Structure 1
Amino acid sequence: MISKYRKQFNREFSQEKYSHFKEILKQKSGLEPSFRISESPVFLTKEFENKLIDASESIIDQIKALPFETLQKAIPENCRVPNDTHQPHFFTIDFGVCKSENGEIEPQLIELQAFPSLYAFQRILEETFCEVYPFISEIKNKMPHEEFKAYLKELIVGDENPENVVLLEIFPEKQKTLIDFVFTEKLLGIKTVCLTKVKKEGRKLYYENNGRQIEIKRIYNRVIFDELERIPDLKTEFDFREEADVKWITHPNWFFKISKFLLPLLKHRFVPKSYFLHEFPDRENLENFVLKPLFSFAGSGVNLNPTKEITDAIEDKENYILQRKVSYEPIFEDINGEFSKAEIRLLYIWRENDDRPILLENLGRMTKAAMVNVDFNKKDAIWIGSSNAFFGDE
């Protein structure tokens, strides 16, 4: 969309630079990323950025105005965790880069979550793009690295000793996001701990480090609670639903409260119309909608072409939504003259005493397939995978 930066990047790009780019990430983290990193950043105009912010601010206003009881309805009873908080610590919001009926490039809301994303990784990714392609630095995120670090440290570590704060995940070494865990450890000085290693004595939680039992006082939670039930023979000492003397960053209930559950309740010109499946009106055409389970992750269970037979067969219709289809516009030209589509995730933090969240970073995802998840791309495609968006003047 910013032809000046796109043309310069494509002129400077080479497979050698891409290999060097990935090698820098490997050197900084000590491991290979387990997901595909796009060769290219996403270049977008300040005008488009303003549209993103306008939509996000409206959505934040609408969420803040929702009754407490409405949000509580989103939490499955078997997943309700005690000691909820009045607002989440994280807020992420995904927009597709689309084209309007009058030909304007505009964002369209895809999803939103009160769950941490790849905050530490995305910061390093942005910095690495600027290392390999110095000209990009003139449109990089204006927030200095130390300020970014201070925000995350205040939010996640707070006033605690970092050794009493853990990044909690289930089998973290098997997760695709392991590289983000490593960068988070380096950034904040905290440990990544598997849920199966957490010990519980009364209301206190502990983990072991170098033969020492260390109390856990704050949990930077990366566990998707409802996915635990799908792991066969999982044995843990600590059940999220139990009372514990620990501070959640962010509280697990928010994963459900700010989710696809909210999509039918939101209104904005950049928010596609959505319905709960059991409330889908007869006047609408099913062909114009995408079927999504409320509580899936990474695109699992999404049906781009639902039929009446499929929707009629679903018993728990209240746990599904139908979202009006949007068309991602292929506008990001690669070195072969082919075009990729993209999705932008805005990464906010929400401090406990703040009225509104603070935008720290973004995450870009590029694709040439029908779905943005890179698993759906051809293996030989380029300009696909995890990326970062840079905003500048044309």
Structure 2
Amino acid sequence: MNIKIKSSPVIGGLDGAFKLKRIPDQVYRRISDYFELNYQFKNGKEMRLGNYYLCLDKKISDSFVAFIKQILESNFSEGVFPEGFKPSNETLSDDERKGNFTFGSFDMAVTEKGLQNIEFQAVATYPISAAKMNTILLDSIAETNAFAFPDDVNMRWNDFIQHYTNIFSSESNHVVLVDRRINQQKTKFEFFATSKELDIPLKIIDVKDIFEKNNCLYFKEGEKNNKITTFYNRILITEALYKDNYPYNTNYWKFRFDKKYNDLKYINHPLKQFQISKRLCPYIKHNYNPECYELSDIKHLFKQGELDYKKFIWKHKWGAAGSDLIFEPNEKELKKIEDKTENYIAQNKIKYKLFKTDDHFEKIVELRFMTGVFKGKLNIVPMARVGHVEKGKGGSLNYKIHFSDNNKMGFGFSPVIIFDN
């Protein structure tokens, strides 16, 4: 299953292709106030809005978009997945029934050599809130030849909202956004952003409150049972499987993703998270993709000393949100997962570019492009995670990019603006 993607060299080199600039204080406050008022986002409580933004050269952006489009157009095997996830075609949206995935997140490390693939998966992360953050910033700074959306320089906020509204309202006007343990989710501000900004009624529902009746799905609101016709899935498959014992814990899971229900359509069916995931990385041939293997194919080379543990990171194929990563593999770690190495990939470690900013901190950047597809039309929203570096034993560098490690001023969830230089 090789996914051959044509590499497109960036003409003119990388000088100035990535820059971090401070967001003007009054604009930063405007973004922070908007998020708190409309999205219930308490800046600095669980995560932080970054007060720097990434300036991204359009040539790099175009190259990243081309990479994503070729992934979207590639043929890949369905793969093997656990019980309870194979959907009935009748419950899939039109795009997903045709083999596409509605939402995706593609993460790249910014390095001295350019972009390097970290991972991608068919999950929705922060498209609505990131688009609002980017457009507030763009409308507030005096920049020319600058854009908020990588795939369409003419797109504006209202166009973007219409695209996302179409994704949901094409199935019905009664949409439920579903996740597990909603009050514990750090991403819940994105749920409130989706409910606030889309031009359709949308309910945010905890999965434990959904039940099956007369071959339909319902949720209870007060004394009323409300029928679900459009199910926007935000549940991560690893959390469903390993934390909530889906599908066997029937006291918690009162429905199944592999069952056909009357009048129901899924948006972002969890099956897509298996199909479009880190499992594909060993088969992508592209200069953005670091050396990567199926761990089960090369574990003997680690044991024999032909491959250096220190040069690799091991990743669970379906892990998300920074989970199921083995940053420092060794013989002991290999023994722990000996009977399940088929679930892991071994990827060459990436060396991030260090940015020095006017607050005298060194920073690293992960660039994320979030995709939303409606009737084959692609929309992409960029965002950045701004992190830091810690020195480990023997002078090794530990890259801290996740939001929980960067809840301090100067770091965190940050805007991206694209410049045509």
Q: How does 1:217-366 map to 2 (within 5 A)?
A: 217-229=229-241, 230-231=243-244, 235-245=252-262, 246-280=264-298, 282=301, 283-314=306-337, 315-331=339-355, 333-351=356-374, 353-354=375-376, 358-366=378-386
**TM-score normalized by the length of structure 2:** 0.80
C-alpha contact (below 8 Å) 1:2/1:45 kept by paired residues: no
CA drift at 1:317: 0.6
Q: Per-residue CA shift, 1:167-209, capped at 9, x if unaligned? A: 1111222211111111111223311111111131122112234
Instruction: Kindly indicate which of the two structures has a greater share of residues assigned to helix.
Output: 1
Report the secondary structure of 1:208's partner residue: strand
Judge conservation of contact 1:264–1:274 (CA < 8 Å) in 2.
Answer: yes
Tell me the TM-score normalized by structure 1. Answer: 0.85
Supply the AA of the counterpart residue of 2:106: I
For the Cα contact (< 8 Å) 1:225–1:252, is it kept in 2?
Answer: yes
Find the aligned partners of 2:226 and 2:195 in 1 and give their Cα distance: 17
- Are 2:106 and 1:93 aligned? yes
Aligned to 2:147: 140
Quote the residue 1:111 is aligned against: 119
For 1:5 and 1:236, the matched residues in 2 are separated by: 45
Shift of 1:225: 3.2
SS of the equivalent of 1:125 reads helix
Amino acid at match of 1:294: K
The residue that corresponds to 1:173 in the other structure is 183
Greater shift, 234-243 or 48-57, is seen at 234-243
| Percent identity of paired positions between Structure 1 and Structure 2 | 20
Q: Which runs of 4+ in 1 moved over 4 A?
A: 1-7
Distance in 2, matches of 1:249 and 1:392, equals: 33
> Alpha carbons of 1:255 and 1:159: their partners in 2 closer, same or farther (altered >3 Å)?
closer
Q: d(CA) in 2 for partners of 1:253 and 1:185?
A: 24
Distance in 2 between the 1:29 and 1:129 partners? 17
The CA distance in 2 between the partners of 1:5 and 1:303, in whole Å, is 29
Summarize deviations over 1:272-294 as a string: whole Å, max 9, x none: 12111111173433322111112
| 1:335-388, Cα deviation, whole Å (9 max, x unpaired) | 22333111111111223x42xx513311211101313112234x55x4311112
CA contact (8 A) 2:238 2:319 kept: no
Q: Tell me, yes or no, if the aligned pair for 1:346 and 1:359 is still in contact at 8 Å.
A: no
- Work out whether residues 229 and 265 of structure 2, in 8 Å CA contact, stay in contact via their aligned partners in 1: yes
Matching residue of 1:371: 400
Find out whether 1:205 has 2:217 as its counterpart.
yes
Q: Give SS of 2:183's match.
A: helix
Matched AA of 2:49: I
Check the 8 A contact 1:97/1:343 in 2, yes or no: yes
Q: Structure 1 136/6 Cα, relative in aligned 2: closer, same or farther at 3 Å?
A: farther
In structure 2, list runs of 5 or more residues that go unmatched: 1-13, 390-398
Q: CA offsets, 1:31-62, max 9 Å, x none?
A: 4254221111111212221231232233334x
Tell me which amino acid in the other structure corresponds to 1:135: A
Query: Which piece of structure 1 moves more, 304-313 or 189-198?
Result: 304-313
| Residues 200-243 of structure 1 deviation map (CA, whole Å, 9 limit, x = unaligned) | 11221122346433211111110123412413876242233333
Distance 1:224 1:94, change over 3 A: same
Count residues in correspondence: 371
1:271-318: per-residue Cα shift (whole Å, max 9, x none)? Answer: 112111111173433322111112222112212221133223312010
Letter in 2 for 1:328: Y
How far 1:25 moved relative to its partner? Answer: 1.8
Change (3 A) 1:179 1:313: closer
Q: What letter corresponds to residue 326 of structure 1 in structure 2?
A: I
More strand by share: 2
Structure 1 stretch 164-173 or stretch 133-142: which is displaced more?
133-142
Native 8 Å contact 2:38 2:192 kept in 1: no
Question: What amino acid maps onto 1:385 in structure 2?
Answer: G
Per-residue deviation, residues 122-151 of structure 1 (Å, max 9, x unmatched): 1121133235x4225851324112211111
| Equivalent position of 2:4 in the other structure | none
